[in-house]
Structure 1
Amino acid sequence: MEKTDASSAAAAVADAKISSIFIYPVKSCRGISVPHAPLTPTGFRWDRQWLVVNQRGRAYTQRVEPKLALVEVNLPAEAFSEGWEPTKTSYLEIKAPGMDLLKISLCKPPKVSDGVSVWEWSGSALDEGDEASKWFTNYLGKPSRMVRFNAASETRPVDPVYAQGYSIMFSDMFPFMLASQGSLDELNKLLKEPVPMNRFRPNILVVGCEPFSEDLWTEIKISQFSFQGAYNQSRNRNCWSRAE
């Protein structure tokens, strides 16, 4: 990648436009493309709020359970409206090849489960019950449970080296992940078989900028909201926290 000066980088930010917003309610399962999404201190609402764990409470990811990539999730359309709250008839719906539909109530309070861990973090989470456990156990072929982040009692801070004072749920590293279509197009020129953008699981997809120029962005503004960037070279990701 060729470096650009500050004025060129600023111009690239100004030219970039958001083409898609993605939410991944269950970590490592398929995402949902939405036209808009409410912002929260930990990222977009509903993003990586649920997690599938093994019998020791350790997170499953696509790295070790690639079948999770085939799990589709759905939320009520109104769940992405500002100020909406779930009712008794509000569900997270989950389906996968060869499996019946699983419905998780958004209103029913799950039981607290201790000893849940994802990467460097461990703490309590909210267990979604035996039906969800049986569904994922049958699908993955090994003991599994589904848990929800326990926002009432737990905090998962981001790495203070990159963004001190921010926290996340079950996301990797930071509240938001951004990628550009130009970068993917440039990468695919080097690959024998092109890969789609969902292989990188961004929250925000932008178009209209030079390939990899987003690596240089330190601050962007979307509507009236400002975001601070932190490029994590070890994960090769452009990660963002909302600037207060």
Structure 2
Amino acid sequence: MPSLSALYRYPLKSGQVEPLDNIRLDALGLEGDRRWMVVEEANGRFLTQRLLPQMGRIEARWEEGFGALRLRAPGMEDLSVVVPATDDALRGVTIWRDILQVPDAGDAAADWLSRFLGRPCRLVMIPEQRARQVDTAYANAGEKVHFGDGFPLLLIGQGSLDDLSARVGRPLDMLRFRPNLVVEGAAAFAEDSWKRIRIGEVEFRVAKPCSRCILTTIDPHTGERDAQREPLATLMQYRNVDGEAMFGQNLIAEGRGELRLGMPVEILE
């Protein structure tokens, strides 16, 4: 039976990964995942590694009790950012087609990020009650998402990455694809045929394949772009659906519970 081989959280959208041994699920996915985001100061437009690869060098970690976030980056002093009150200092932000009003994390965080990224920006946080509706073409009304691009969770099979690595001709780091859940013990792209799975006590719907972008060509450790646009170029050769490269599956959890490394992944449908 397939099993859960890796768990990853990204407290700051487009920031460094946080590997986990166990984590609970809440209404927005993994607790604390993608709850913070950097936006342009002038217009509230979201910023990611697509435009600013150096964002991948920002380490954001929840401090004990989830009352604050610690920011760390090369050449910068550490900064602790207190979670802002839900209805204080609201800022209008845009993420893809969604326009939200979310709490701003204050001037100290804005100054820290602006100095590191070299452009005026702000840090915002999304509380559960201000989260976005998942696209109702794939989700039920009331199912919400954090600052992720569109869905609460992303699953990738280790066999799928191994297949892609063999085609590219070198080992690829799973973190290029920024999954939350990695499953081992299944054939390459077996996850494409799954409709419902169970991990521990939690059932998940497999909503849709994940279309990949230029972010996959950025080395997650150095921030350098691949000159040959790999692995996106190879994905486009054999995982091309209507002009988009598909890799991984977006999930929606149907309940709460805890996930732990090594848990069996049961294919229900």
Q: Is 2:2 the counterpart of 1:20?
A: no
Report the Cα offset of residue 231 of structure 1. Answer: 2.2
* Aligned-partner residue type, residue 41 of structure 1: A
- Give the whole-Å Cα distance in 1 for the aligned partners of 2:170 and 2:124: 36
Q: 1:181 to 1:100 in 2, by over 3 A?
A: same
Runs of 4+ in 1 over 6 A off after TM superposition: none
Q: Percent identity?
A: 33
Match of 1:11 in 2: none
- Residues 56-71 of structure 1 aligned to structure 2 (within 5 Å): 56-71=43-58
1:164-203 per-position Cα deviation (integer Å, ceiling 9, x unaligned):
2211010121111001111111101121443201110101
- Give the whole-Å Cα distance in 2 for the aligned partners of 1:31 and 1:181: 17
Given that residues 183 and 211 in structure 1 are in contact (C-alpha distance below 8 angstroms), is that contact kept between their aligned partners in structure 2? Answer: yes
- Residues 76-115 of structure 1 aligned to structure 2 (within 5 Å): 76=63, 85-86=65-66, 90-106=67-83, 109=85, 111-115=88-92
Residue 229 of structure 1: SS of its match in structure 2?
A: strand
User: 2:133 pairs with 152, 157, 164, which one?
Assistant: 157
- Give the whole-Å Cα distance in 2 for the aligned partners of 1:112 and 1:210: 49
Match of 1:30 in 2: 16
Residue 38 of structure 1: SS of its match in structure 2?
A: strand
Residue 67 of structure 1: SS of its match in structure 2?
A: helix
1:118-162 per-position Cα deviation (integer Å, ceiling 9, x unaligned):
11111111111111000110011000100001434x241111111
Given that residues 112 and 124 in structure 1 are in contact (C-alpha distance below 8 angstroms), is that contact kept between their aligned partners in structure 2? Answer: no
- Give the whole-Å Cα distance in 2 for the aligned partners of 1:128 and 1:65: 20
Residue 111 of structure 2: SS of its match in structure 1?
A: helix
Given that residues 59 and 117 in structure 1 are in contact (C-alpha distance below 8 angstroms), is that contact kept between their aligned partners in structure 2? Answer: yes
* Aligned-partner residue type, residue 249 of structure 2: N
Q: Is 2:104 the counterpart of 1:117?
A: no
- Residues 164-183 of structure 1 aligned to structure 2 (within 5 Å): 164-165=140-141, 166-183=143-160
- Residues 126-137 of structure 1 aligned to structure 2 (within 5 Å): 126-137=103-114
* Larger relative contact order, structure 1 or 2 (CA cutoff 8 Å, min sep 6): 2
TM-score (structure 1 length as normaliser): 0.84
Q: Is 2:59 the counterpart of 1:72?
A: yes
**Structure 1 residue ranges without an equivalent (≥5):** 1-14, 80-84
TM-score (structure 2 length as normaliser): 0.76
Q: Is 2:213 the counterpart of 1:240?
A: no
- Give the whole-Å Cα distance in 2 for the aligned partners of 1:193 and 1:113: 46
**Structure 2 residue ranges without an equivalent (≥5):** 213-245, 256-269
- Give the whole-Å Cα distance in 1 for the aligned partners of 2:253 and 2:119: 38
Greater CA deviation, 36-45 or 108-117? Answer: 108-117
Match of 2:241 in 1: none
Q: 1:50 to 1:233 in 2, by over 3 A?
A: closer
Q: 1:45 to 1:68 in 2, by over 3 A?
A: same
* Aligned-partner residue type, residue 4 of structure 2: I
Q: Is 2:26 the counterpart of 1:40?
A: yes
- Give the whole-Å Cα distance in 1 for the aligned partners of 2:91 and 2:61: 27
